[in-house]
Amino acid sequence: KAGVTQTPRYLIKTRGQQVTLSCSPISGHRSVSWYQQTPGQGLQFLFEYFSETQRNKGNFPGRFSGRQFSNSRSEMNVSTLELGDSALYLCASTRTSGNTGELFFGEGSRLTVL
Amino acid sequence: AQSVTQLGSHVSVSEGALVLLRCNYSSSVPPYLFWYVQYPNQGLQLLLKYTTGATLVKGINGFEAEFKKSETSFHLTKPSAHMSDAAEYFCAVSLNTDKLIFGTGTRLQVFP
């Protein structure tokens, strides 16, 4: 059974650009969550999607957005990149919405903003 | 609001020694509690979780944790450290919502 797949694994952008990250959940999983991981702030929740609907959102500016497709694949977008957006972006999936179960994480997309 | 505090950003132990990683939570209602591990250049992997029932929870790789409501703690232990246990460990809390609140992590070093 394939795990959570995130692409690209590494990318470098410059300030002001935008970026789109992709996440393919484990087959059969309908909930996808996104987290930002930085050395200073740790793991911060971005948002969670279930059946193409955003069910919860963290405290990030509107430059951070996401969506989920009918096949449960998810994308997140960051517009007008800032230096502080440099981070490891982690995607996690689970079968149902609600965290009484296990989140399965991908290996992350490491974004560097110059 | 719920929150998680991990005491000690770095912990070092000798191989074969006891591992103790501390986690305290703040929650107005009984929470769900989790420990995750992150190896270098990898995502997070669930070690163990507490939802309801037995307060002593056993996880993978010989780790276990005990939910102590009176102390609002969920410390992670392993009787004998192995070199392969070197990683970063995250405690997390959830109130059956759609997000986990993570602690800031504890990096475990194991010396031979």
pLDDT digits 0-9 by tens, A59-113: 999 999 999 999 999 999 999 999 999 999 999 998 876 556 678 999 999 999 9
Segment among A88-92, B4-8, B40-44, B96-100 with least mean pLDDT:
B96-100
Residue A43: how many other CB atoms lie within 10 Å: 21
What are the chain B neighbours of A102 within 8 Å (beta carbons)? 46, 49
Q: How far is B36 from chain A (nearest CA, A)?
A: 10
Residues of B in contact with A10 (CB under 8 A): none
Tell me the one-letter amino acid at A72: S
Q: Torsion over CA of B96, B107, A57 and A71, rounded to 10 degrees?
A: -80
* Residue A48 near chain B (CB below 8 Å): yes
Tokens of A101: 């179960």
Q: pLDDT tens for residues A32-48?
A: 999 999 988 889 999 99
- Residue B69 has phi, psi (to 5 degrees) of -65, -40
Mean pLDDT calculated for residue range B88-106: 85
Per-residue pLDDT tens digits for B36-82? 999 988 889 999 999 878 889 999 999 999 999 899 999 999 999 99
The residue whose two tokens read 């929870």 is B57
For residue A57, give the nearest of B43, B3, B98, B87 by alpha carbon.
B98
Judging contacts by C-beta atoms under 8 Å, the chain B residues touching residue A98 are 96-98
Distance from CA of B85 to the nearest CA of A (A): 18
Neighbours of B33 (CB within 10 A): 23
Residue B30 has pLDDT above 80, yes or no: no
Q: How many helices (H) and strands (E) does chain A have?
A: 0, 11
Question: What pLDDT does A99 receive?
Answer: 55
Q: Which residue in A has a C-alpha nearest to residue B98's C-alpha?
A: A98
Q: Which two tokens stand for residue A3?
A: 């795990």
In the three-class reduction of DSSP (H, G, I as helix; E, B as strand; rest coil), residue B91 is classed as strand
